[in-house]
Structure 1
Amino acid sequence: MKKSFKSMFSFFSESWAELKKVRWPNRKELTNYTLVVLGTIVVMAVFFWVIDIGLSYAIEAII
C-alpha cells in the first residue's frame, strides 16, 4: 500500500516537472493556431459537402 502511494506521488511530481519544461504559446501564436484550425475545418466541411452533393446527384441519376 505504501509503495503504491509513493509511486503515485512520484508520478505527479515527475509530471509537474515535465509541465514546467513545456514552452506554452503566447497570445498571438495561440490566435494564429486557432485560426488555422478553424480555417482547416471550414475547408474540409465545404469539401465533404461538395462531395456529398456530387454523390447525391450521381445516385439520383443512376436511380
Structure 2
Amino acid sequence: MSNPQVETVTTGADKAKLAGAVLLLVAALVAFYLLSKQGALVQWGALIVLLLAAAGSFFTSESGKSLIAYGQDSMREVRKVVWPTRKEAMQMTGYVFAFVVVMALFLWLTDKTLEWVLYDLILGWRR
C-alpha cells in the first residue's frame, strides 16, 4: 500500500477569504451584543446577515470548496449502502439482546462463584 503525499496549496487570496470569514464571524457576535438596545429585529438581522456573509466567504475558499466536495462524496457513499430489511434488523436486534442476557448471566455466575471461593472457602467468612 503506497502512502501518497498530500499537498495543500494555500494562496494569499484563499488566506484572505478565510481571514475575512473569521472577521465577519467575530463582527456578527460583536454586532449582536452591541445592538441589543436597538431591538430584537435589528439585533438578529445583523447577526444573520453577517453570519451568511462569513459562510459565503468561507465556502468560496479552497477549504470551503473541499468541505462541500467531501459532503457530496459522503452523500454519494450513503446512497450506496444496502440497508437491512425490517425482518433482518429485528433478527439482529434479537440476537444482540440474547447475547447481552447470556453475558449478564455468565458474569453474574462468575462473580458469585469467585465470591463463594474467596470468602467462604479460602477466608472462611460466613455471612
Question: Into which bin does the TM-score normalised by the smaller protein fall?
Answer: over 0.9
Structure 2, unmatched stretches of 5+, are: 1-17, 19-60
SS at match of 2:83: coil
Structure 1, unmatched stretches of 5+, are: none
Cα RMSD (Å) of the superposition?
0.8
Deviation digits for residues 1-52 of structure 1, max 9, x if unmatched?
A: 4011011111111010000000001111100010001000100110011000
Question: How high is the TM-score relative to the length of structure 2?
Answer: 0.48
Percent of matched pairs sharing the same residue: 37
Give the total of aligned pairs: 63
Counterpart of 1:9 in structure 2 is 68
Counterpart of 1:44 in structure 2 is 103
Higher-helix-fraction structure: 1
Counterpart of 2:88 in structure 1 is 29
Question: How high is the TM-score relative to the length of structure 1?
Answer: 0.94
Give the counterpart of 2:117 among 41, 58, 63. Answer: 58
Match for 1:57: what amino acid? W
State the shift of 1:62 in Å: 1.2
